Amino acid sequence: MEMMICAASRLIDDGAMVVVGTGAPCAASMLAQKTSAPNSTLMFEAGGIGPLLPKMPISVGDSRTFYQGLMATSMGDVMETCQRGLVDYTFLGGAQIDMFGNLNSTRIGGDHQQPKVRLPGSGGANDLGSLCWRILVITPHDRRRFTERVDFITTPGFLDGPGAREKAGLPPGTGPYKVITNLAVMGFDEESKRMQVESLHSNVTLDEVQDNTGFELLVKEPLELTPTPNDEQLRVLREEVDPQRYIIGRS
């Protein structure tokens, strides 16, 4: 969990605008704000913009998401800001993800009326994934999540390949950017829009990543080693971001 959060935090540019969800995405964004990206602006779906988070919020509507913020506004304003093309990153997750970065957080099973599992649904994930420039995904890595075809597209990735987002009317140049797991960091091939392994975490093999994926992964050359968290990152994460171990205490 610490590896995922630290790897994700390094992907946020200083000065970027980031729409943040609860859990690991919030931890990664807080860590970035306190270390490598102090000028980043965090935004929360319920209306908090630019807070300096004192503690880990328990939801996107937690009062902490407004603490010393630039604005205490509404969901409508946040989504309009995304629609205007002003938001660089959004952190998303889901129960399933496929080779084109489509996310499912709606249901497991083919019958929409009587699924095997009914999931929470979109919330703002569809809007954010459709309108923000780059989608970042943090998720554990196993074959149940990384499936050849998602049971339901809650949030569009590259849909079925090159040009599909644009054909569907979504802003050109937007889409999935990186997928950060407990095994590796994946990106997407520029031409085919398929998921590709870009770096492996320490002591993880490429075979191990592929064995935990339900579709064939591409591999970017040269394949890199994900930087391990340094002492300062871990100190800030453990002592300032999540001292109660709400997130990093999860197995």
| Residue 95, C-beta contacts closer than 8 angstroms, at least 6 positions apart | 104, 105, 108, 117, 119, 145
Task: Give the C-alpha separation, 92 to 25, whole Å.
Answer: 7
Task: Give the C-alpha separation, 45 to 57, whole Å.
Answer: 13
The DSSP 8-state label assigned to residue 33 in this structure reads H
Task: Give the C-alpha separation, 116 to 44, whole Å.
Answer: 31
208 is catalytic: no
Could you give the strand order of the β-sheet that contains 71-72, starting from the edge strand earlier in sequence? 71-72, 48-49, 41-44, 17-20, 89-92, 134-138, 175-180, 184-188, 195-200, 218-225
Which candidate in 2, 45, 191, 208 is catalytic? 45
Active site residues: 45
